[in-house]
Structure 1
Amino acid sequence: MQFPVTINPSVAGEHSAIMTLDSPESAGIEYRIMNTVIAADKFTAANNYAVTTSSTIDRAQSKSYFFQVPAGAPAFKVDFTGPSGSPGTGQARFLRWHPYGVGIDSNAVSNCYVGLACSTGSPNSRTLDNPLAGVWEVTVDARRTSDTDAAPFSLTASILGASVSPNPDVIAAAGIGVPVARTYTITNGFGAFTGRAFGTTLGSAVQATPTIAGGAQQQYLVQVAAGSTSLRAAINSPSDPAADLDLYVYNCSTGTCVLAGQSADGDSDESVTIANPAAGTWLVLIDGYSVPAGTTSYNYRDVFVNAAFGSISVTDANALRPAGASWTVPGSVTANAAPAAGRVLLGNVQVRTDTNLVVGSGDVIVQSVTP
């Protein structure tokens, strides 16, 4: 037997109800089950992409709060005030729990309480970049040795993110060592933050949109220059949305290819970053693990960053950026060396908080470099 059940919670939080099946034709109750649902707070333009809760936490007790983090949110921030480390304000903390139910902060007995050390950041404010979309749980608890029966607190969860325009900023040609003046507009599309725009070092990149068949493999060789600070390979946006493509990066600089990194989950949005890669040959392998449509196109990019190629300079300073705020910054792009044939120079204009967390980015591409 199947029958519809309507769930209509009026407030956020955990909600439970007992469902009972009772036949009037027999004595007793035939079946009874407890049902629990989570109604999460949502981030919207109406609440400026931030949700604040004020309450008290009793000694040795815990409370849970739930937040719906949307897909594509660049950062998820939690701020906590109330306990200050001063006598009489209580010993309390917050901990964050992944949508899979796994804690991302240690719940060790002394970790992250206000006034004590926190292994994942500050006891009062922690931000996670590229959070998984879904329902995140944030718990607040007070130590059994808390110096007050009930500690008042305020918990604010918010999502952060800004866009850069133009994106990409394509420069057809640049002369070696000659700065190219640019202007960028930054727009804060989510919650308020304090931050600035920032330019990065340039790198040598390949961008392509190849097609791969299910069960097939494709290889890309990358000649990494000495002194490079990172090598990143990434794939995304398959034309077959059900495709599962995997990415592997091999270090072949010694003459023998050794697996150095891989990204192989259940979709086709994969990336691997290698810090301080050895100079020489590297190999990126794409595996068409599952392609229900038979073939699929996808976006491919590899880039190794090296100061020898030049940099992007942006003039900006930390300031409060309210939700919806836009500001314009001057910048310049200086190419100091040409990449190998078939490659371009690639860098980013990033948006960073005052704690140096990246909450937005726009690509800058120099298509050719002339003497």
Structure 2
Amino acid sequence: MPAHAQGAGLIDIVGAWKTIKAGATAHEYTVKAPVDTAIDFALKTPGFGTGLYDREGGLKAGQSKTYDVTVTRTTGPDRGVAHSLSWKNNDGTFSLAGPSTVSLPLGKPVTVKVKARPGSAGVHSAILRVNDAKTVGVDHQILTTVVVAKPLVAPGYAFTASGSVQRNDHKSYFVNVPEGAETLEVALSALRSGSQTRFISIHPYGVAVEDSSTIFCYANYESPSNTCRPDVRSYKDPQPGVWEIEVESRRTSALLDNSYKLDVSLLGASFDPAVQTIAEAKAGTPAAVNWTVTNNAGDLEGKLKGGSLGSAKVERPSISTGETYETTVTIGEGVEKLDFAIGGTSDANADIDLYVYNGDTEVGASTWAGSEESVSLVKPAAGTYTVVVDGYAVPAGTTAYDYRDVYYAPSLGAITVDESKAVNLANGASAQVGAEVLVAGTAPEGRQFFGEVRLVNSRGTAAGTGSVVIEKVTP
């Protein structure tokens, strides 16, 4: 088991207690080591911690990188004390770029140079032991960890792996999502009959995107509470940085060895213009709209998808730290989808969160760091929904932001496309696409009609979306 998974290992409690009773002593130390993650800014000393952790530094397999780890002895004799430096649970990635002994004066920082040269993709870790031979046991241990991620870059913008995972075990893959990526798609296939295997996507902040409870996301496992699709899921506007995709098999899987194929890819098709505005439409009369769509990712074999029109409320309110904004939306029967979104803050560093309630029950929440938050409810029950926006942290004091809620229903009208026509685009290629908008009637007070055309791939994941806003409807 690697060092980062088990830490210092088991403690011999009986032996340790006997040693303490016999009067054994040990020195105390502080460590300042480089940390490069998506949230290292939140550390007490940004970019540094008590162990070495390089997740976002772009380290490649076969590449060497040297890190300065500062060790300070804070107790013991007021003179230099010789310490040995050694490795535990090292897979060969780590070494010292200097001698294996070091003299540590009292209260004076000493730099130890640690070199990492990982031989393969994935996570590599070891424990650096700092020990005074005149004391009992090992005086101090420093965890060192580096991650080698697969970059999702041109021309394919994709990563594929095939493997096998045993029942009640897991394997992890790391991919580097670049800045500006539009959609991250993860797909799991080639499972054998009875294989209860799933994937969980872990955000660069280190938290799972899906609910990782044992009843969710597994193939070949029936659970009434599961709303997680096991074969493919996508993440719009993914956080740039290193994502971990964990493949694991449930303890109840019929198979000991569970083979699989994992496909991770970026999708990105831009519609120009992003939003088409129809100044005036006549109820019951089709109105044509057109876009130029450009593929900014790997080769795409796609087709267009239309759908029901939506009724949208769009605002740009302001909020301060600790304040909340509250509004409601009432929907009737037959609504296919109800979406809520906030973002576009005037304070780029603002962190605002989104909560949605049906009565007293929370039915959705989006609380990532930052301000781009969204909640989507599929086939929501009729009733009144309360939306709460929380100003968690606004460094500028007050920030303006975009708010939108929209519900889609066939009774409002439709946006139609030729779904039988293929739209196949190589990277960088463009095509002209069109749709027809048919509005059933006038919009409710304070709301406007809204529609979307999606360009989807063979798995049904949207590579890009073009929107339509109808400003006025006449009978």
TM-score (norm 2): 0.60
Cα deviation 1:232-253 (Å, max 9, x = unaligned): 33211212233332334455xx
Aligned to 2:65: none
Contact 2:312–2:448, Cα closer than 8 Å, also in 1? yes
2:417 paired with 1:314: yes
Q: For the structure 1 residues 184 and 294, does the alpha-carbon distance in structure 2 shift closer, same or farther, using more than 3 Å as the test?
A: same
Q: What RMSD over aligned residues (CA atoms) do the two structures have, in Å?
A: 4.2
Q: For the structure 1 residues 101 and 213, does the alpha-carbon distance in structure 2 shift closer, same or farther, using more than 3 Å as the test?
A: closer
Contact 2:168–2:248, Cα closer than 8 Å, also in 1? no
Contact 1:57–1:142, Cα closer than 8 Å, also in 2? no
Aligned to 1:369: 473
Aligned counterpart in structure 2 of residue 129 of structure 1, from 235, 238, 245: 235
Matches within 5 A, 1:97-246: 97-99=201-203, 100=206, 102=208, 112=219, 126-130=232-236, 133=239, 134-139=242-247, 155-224=262-331, 227-246=334-353
The range that moved more, 303-312 or 238-247, is: 238-247
2:445 paired with 1:338: no
Shift of 1:196: 1.4
Name which structure has the greater RCO, CA cutoff 8 Å, separation 6+.
1
Q: Whole-Å Cα distance in 2 between the matches of residues 367 and 95 of structure 1?
A: 43
The 3-state SS of whatever aligns with 2:416 is strand
Q: Whole-Å Cα distance in 1 between the matches of residues 327 and 363 of structure 2?
A: 15
Q: Whole-Å Cα distance in 1 between the matches of residues 361 and 169 of structure 2?
A: 47
Aligned to 2:175: 67
Contact 2:162–2:261, Cα closer than 8 Å, also in 1? yes
Matches within 5 A, 1:40-119: 40-46=149-155, 48-53=156-161, 64-70=172-178, 72-81=181-190, 95-99=199-203, 100=206, 102=208, 112=219
Match for 1:75: what amino acid? L
Cα deviation 1:313-354 (Å, max 9, x = unaligned): 111337455444433323111112111233211111112233
- Aligned residues between the structures: 350
The 3-state SS of whatever aligns with 1:45 is coil
Contact 1:215–1:287, Cα closer than 8 Å, also in 2? yes
Bigger radius of gyration, 1 or 2? 2
The range that moved more, 229-238 or 290-299, is: 229-238
Aligned counterpart in structure 2 of residue 287 of structure 1, from 390, 401, 410: 390
Aligned to 1:261: 363
TM-score (norm 1): 0.74
Could you tell me which runs of 5 or more consecutive residues in structure 1 were left unpaired when the two chains were aligned: 86-90, 252-256
Match for 1:315: what amino acid? D
Shift of 1:201: 1.2
Contact 2:349–2:395, Cα closer than 8 Å, also in 1? yes
The 3-state SS of whatever aligns with 1:286 is strand
Identity value in percent = 31
The 3-state SS of whatever aligns with 1:362 is strand
Could you tell me which runs of 5 or more consecutive residues in structure 2 were left unpaired when the two chains were aligned: 1-108
Cα deviation 1:291-312 (Å, max 9, x = unaligned): 2221110001122223232111
Aligned counterpart in structure 1 of residue 430 of structure 2, from 326, 349, 355: 326
Shift of 1:188: 2.8
The range that moved more, 151-160 or 352-361, is: 151-160
The 3-state SS of whatever aligns with 2:411 is helix
Aligned counterpart in structure 1 of residue 124 of structure 2, from 5, 15, 35: 15
Q: For the structure 1 residues 223 and 107, does the alpha-carbon distance in structure 2 shift closer, same or farther, using more than 3 Å as the test?
A: closer
Q: For the structure 1 residues 345 and 58, does the alpha-carbon distance in structure 2 shift closer, same or farther, using more than 3 Å as the test?
A: closer
Contact 1:18–1:34, Cα closer than 8 Å, also in 2? yes
The 3-state SS of whatever aligns with 2:468 is strand
Contact 2:188–2:199, Cα closer than 8 Å, also in 1? no
Aligned to 2:380: 276
Match for 2:353: what amino acid? D
Q: For the structure 1 residues 321 and 35, does the alpha-carbon distance in structure 2 shift closer, same or farther, using more than 3 Å as the test?
A: same
Contact 2:298–2:426, Cα closer than 8 Å, also in 1? yes
Q: Whole-Å Cα distance in 2 between the matches of residues 262 and 57 of structure 1?
A: 33
2:405 paired with 1:302: yes
Q: Whole-Å Cα distance in 2 between the matches of residues 52 and 45 of structure 1?
A: 14
Cα deviation 1:186-210 (Å, max 9, x = unaligned): 3332234543111121122121222
Match for 1:263: what amino acid? A
